[in-house]
A and B are shown apart, each in its own frame.
Chain A
Amino acid sequence: MYWIKNKKIKEVIGIVIIGMMLLSLVGCGTSTSDEEAQPSAVASEGEVKQEEEAVVLRLEGGDWGYPSPYLHYSRGPGGYKMQLIFDSLLESGEEGVIPWLAKEWEIAEDGLSYIFTLQQDVKWHDGQPLTPEDVKFSFEYFEKHPPVWNPVMVGNEPIVKEIEILEDNRLKFILGEKDATILEKIGTVRIIPEHIWSGVEDPDSFQDEGAVIGCGPYKLTDYNKEHETYEFTAFEDYWGPKQRVEKIQFVPVSDEIMAFENKEIDVIGIGSDLLDRYQNDPQFKVLENPAFWGYRLSLNMEKNLLFKEKDIRQAIAYGIDQEEMVEKVARGAAIAGSAGYLPKNHIWYNPTVKKYPFDEEKAKTLLGDKKLSFELLTGDSNAEVRIAELMKISLEKIGVEIEIKSVDMKTRDNAVSTGNYEMALIGHGGWGRDADILRTRYSDIPGYENEQINALAEEQLREMDIAKRKELISALQELIAEEIPMIPVYNTTGYTVYRPNTYDGWMYMFDHHSVSHGKLSYLERE
């Protein structure tokens, strides 16, 4: 049995054209039915009241769970909805993290303690004041009951050893060891009200209205699981920047583009094929998304010892034509992956790392007279299958044979996590996060161990000086690119289209690819 995905609808257009012929028959069939509906009702519904002062935005819905820190689903749209309600000490701005609930902070010389000063007069949605005790409570509660998005724990270890409440609305966080990424981690932990949660024993089943009382810019005013709708309304006593959008409504959508065309939703993501339709029309504004979502080729060196040889890995990298894939699969809406992992839009991307453009000669020289054959495991999405097919063709040219095995996403993920694959194509987001992802990504490649990489990765984590840390990260990217223990394929960009007449405040967070996810998109900014 196969399931239709919304995106697949577009691909069926071909069939539809044939289907149009059938339609004349359909017309005959339906005309006998008694239920001729009046079209007028739709027309009036389509015209959303636009003249009013308050901006009401409509976005693509879908059920992403009750937006409490415990009940939202793990995908992005779930977590970011929760974040509209719940603020954290810091927030993601356009350039980096910015002060939020904490208006300023100091880091001790030894890097082992942080002092945050909270904003004054912060109120919860139920009118109670936010206190430093709430902040301390949130960290301790999350330690005991891990939420869905869980930055307070790394493995089984909490990131903060102790929290002291100081006078003047200040808090002191004491750490076990120096960690360059800690500020961002502490900064993203949601703050929840002690007066509600202190009595909650099993937060995973806490569905009460209290579960969505936060101190963020928006209150949840409607949620319907079966219809997959949400309504967020601006919180009038919000401590922070004024909301430019009064209401954010998420409505069910069968096809994004058709819904946008019919003015049912106000912002969409498109690929490059539709770019011409919107680009030169002043009604619309088009933004190119930063490339923080990407595909990479994972090599299992435990399963196939040949991958332990650097020459072979490099040969494969030369044998993959990234540009062709960007052109043919992503239709130009992507950037070839950087061999140093961090993509071009990453704030710490190193442009000087070794590059592997498609090069038959170099690949053949590196391979010598070895004839190789591998099995490539991929998911079953259209893009993945096409990437795999192109890999097969280009690798054949250098004398590497691959056999493609395409399975559904969960099956592939399971095979990869149990090490039951030779080569796997995998796609995921998060490529824009803190450069510490290099350490985690490259430390658990099955069968691969590189002391230099490990040492550098560890060193950057302990380096508190930002400029120095950036240098270490640059060096690490160069090393990784040379070693190429996994092969980044490409990072997708895609475009965001909206009608500036309706709303023009969209903004990208420095590490994320979706304008509708960040709360700053809905608030006044300088």
Chain B
Amino acid sequence: MKKKRKILGFKQYIIIFLCIITLNFFIPRLMPGDPFTFLSAEEGQDHTAFSSEDIERHKKYYGLDQPLWQQYISYVRNLLKGDLGYSIHYKEEVLTLVLSRIAWTLSLVIASVLLSAAIGVFLGTISAYYRNSSLDKILYSGLITLSEVPSFIIALVMLFYFAAHLKLFPLSGGMSHFVDFSSRWEMIKDILLHAFLPLMALTITRIGEFYLLARNSMISILDKAYIKTARGKGLKRRRILFYHALRNAIPPIVTRIFLSFGGALGGAVLVENVFNYPGVGRLMRQGVFFRDYPLIQGIFVVMTLFVLVMNYTADAIYKKLDPRVS
């Protein structure tokens, strides 16, 4: 982890953002098909076949009859005004749709990154201290294996085992419906219960990366002279590890936390679909499925913004924590 991260300036972030929104615009439109042509449906499902007149009328209503460059210009213009457009499938403002769901997704993402960082760092520190012991070996191979398993597979396993088989957790959704909660606390408990399995699925896959990072930095730190001094002073093992050593290993971990949000967001999209969790992941799947251009664009813009802000924060914090980076 000695490699220096290249720090980007604010201007570069703006350029990246512009490139991404342009790709956002064109990629959905390059997919074959349009939002209104339905000739088929999923098994057991009915669909409406719009007549060609209906399709024309709909295209006109949503401005899809205009040349692509005109659509692009009005898209960018609206975006600058903060208008993400109107979803064709959901028939609602994209911004409203995304805002109503983003909190669910972001809570999952943030909680899972923090949780996996905490667990990963804790285990990494222990592993580094007992380097080459059997505990270290078990942790190392176990966590590396787990971090290679995609989060939605873990989600499925958990769904079958903990929810369907043991019935410890609800099967799906973000909360119980049509139930009268006796108190606010009951409702919070219910929401946490629903979030538990998706959260775990997302957390487990990320523990490995924090574990490795913490273990590596701790190994190099534990050899340092000041740790030896601390040991020499007869300080308690816990204090040496979690105070003297860990404090110095923290900067790369904090940066990694912020950089992990992007990946966790991607994982959340899939995990939400497993649990029917009410976040943007499900929204995105529907958007792609129905070729709902404004919706796909809107979700990507919001996600892009989130990831860029997190990267920018990571850079800023890294600069603060490590004065050698300018």
Contact = CB atoms under 8 A, between A and B. Distances in A.
A409 B40 contact: yes
Interface stretch (A123-131, A251-259, A448-456): A251-259
A514 B168 CA distance: 32
Contacts of A19: 153-154, 156-157
A16 B167 CA distance: 17
A148 B65 CA distance: 20
Contact of B37 (A3, A6, A155, A413): A413
Interface in B1-42: 31-34, 37-42
Interface in B266-324: 270, 273-276, 278, 285-286, 288-291
A149 B48 contact: yes
Contacts of B51: 153, 155
Interface string A29-44: 1101101011101110
Given A4-B270, A76-B45, A228-B278, A39 B168 contact: yes
Contacts of A414: 32-34, 37
Nearest to B48: A74
Interface stretch (B67-75, B175-183, B255-263): B175-183
Interface string A245-267: 00001011111001101101000
Main secondary structure, interface of A, reads mixed
What band does the interface of chain B fall in when counting residues whose beta carbon is under 8 Å from A? 35 or more
A75 B174 CA distance: 24
A413 B50 CA distance: 13
Contact of B44 (A409, A430, A513): A513
A30 to B, nearest CB: 6
Interface stretch (A65-73, A178-186, A346-354, A500-508): A65-73
B290 to A, nearest CB: 8
Interface string A327-343: 00000000000000000
A413 B156 contact: no
B189 to A, nearest CB: 6
Given A41-B189, A262-B167, A413-B38, A251 B89 contact: no
Contacts of A25: 142, 145-146
Given A35-B196, A253-B276, A428-B39, A413 B33 contact: yes
A393 to B, nearest CB: 22
A102 B203 CA distance: 59
Contact of A71 (B45, B91, B160, B190): B91
B48 A494 contact: no
B108 interface: no
B266 to A, nearest CB: 9
Contacts of B172: 252-255, 259
B152 A4 contact: yes
A263 B122 CA distance: 41
A324 B286 CA distance: 34
B218 interface: no
B193 A42 contact: yes
B47 A75 contact: yes
Contacts of A379: 40
A41 B167 CA distance: 11
B146 to A, nearest CB: 6
B103 to A, nearest CB: 10
A429 B41 CA distance: 7
Find the residue from A156, A254, A379 having the highest chain B CB count within 10 A.
A254
Interface string A67-109: 0001101111101000000000000000000000000000000
A426 B40 contact: yes
A71 B88 CA distance: 10
B271 to A, nearest CB: 9
A196 interface: no
Given A426-B39, A427-B41, A12 B156 contact: yes
A29 B119 contact: yes
Contacts of B45: 75-77, 293, 429
A150 B149 CA distance: 48
A29 B44 contact: no
- Top 5 nearest A-B pairs (CB, nearest first) are A410-B33, A254-B172, A76-B46, A19-B157, A252-B173
18 contacts: A15-B156, A22-B154, A23-B157, A39-B168, A70-B91, A74-B48, A74-B50, A76-B45, A146-B54, A148-B48, A155-B53, A228-B173, A252-B276, A410-B290, A413-B33, A428-B39, A429-B46, A429-B47
Given A22-B146, A42-B170, A75-B45, 17 more contacts: A4-B274, A25-B145, A29-B146, A37-B193, A41-B193, A65-B90, A74-B48, A150-B48, A205-B86, A205-B91, A227-B174, A255-B171, A269-B44, A411-B32, A414-B33, A426-B40, A429-B41
